[in-house]
Amino acid sequence: MKALQPMSILVFLVAGALNAQDAKVTPLMSKDLAECPGKEGEMITVVYPPGASDPVHRHNAHAFVYALEGSIVMQLKGGQEVTLTPGQTFYEGPGDIHTVGRNASTTQSAKFVVFLIKDKGAPVLIPVNPTALGVSVSPKPKSGRK
């Protein structure tokens, strides 16, 4: 029976890692910006399940972030890691590389809205190879950290 206890713990830890979910992105609206030919405004919500994180990426857009629920950790290449709570904001410029985007909690979801000004039809998110850029990515929070 004692030999099964370590195996049970291992199965529990692996199952928890495999159940980690990706962020859920919901488009809210998109509008051509007549005063800025070739540009559009796009608004989305993002929900990070507990423990979720984004890959290193960029937007090639002006991205204005507003935290709605929970706590979100953000960092741009060359910048400091910041933790947003409801009502706080964050900005990413077209040339910025987003190295950290994750839920600060492993037990509660986090939600934020993003307003982007970008080229019409351009993708909202463009993955970036962190190794090719020499970007250091911070680890996900340890279990139990909120």
Does 4 reside within a domain? no
Does 116 reside within a domain? yes
Number of folded domains that form the chain:
1
User: Can you give the pLDDT of all 146 residues of the chain as single tens digits?
Assistant: 454 444 433 333 333 343 457 899 999 999 999 999 999 999 999 999 999 999 999 999 999 999 999 999 999 999 999 999 999 999 999 999 999 999 999 999 999 999 999 999 999 999 998 776 665 555 555 444 44
* DSSP letter (8 states) at residue 124: S
pTM to 2 decimals?
A: 0.77
For residue 18, what pLDDT is reported? 37
Phi and psi angles of residue 94, each rounded to the nearest 5 degrees, phi first = -60, -30
For residue 13, what pLDDT is reported? 39
What is the domain extent for residue 60? 22-133
For residue 134, what pLDDT is reported? 65
For 64, the token pair is 């204005």
Does 6 reside within a domain? no
Q: What's the CATH number where 118 sits?
A: 2.60.120.10
Does 69 reside within a domain? yes
Does 17 reside within a domain? no
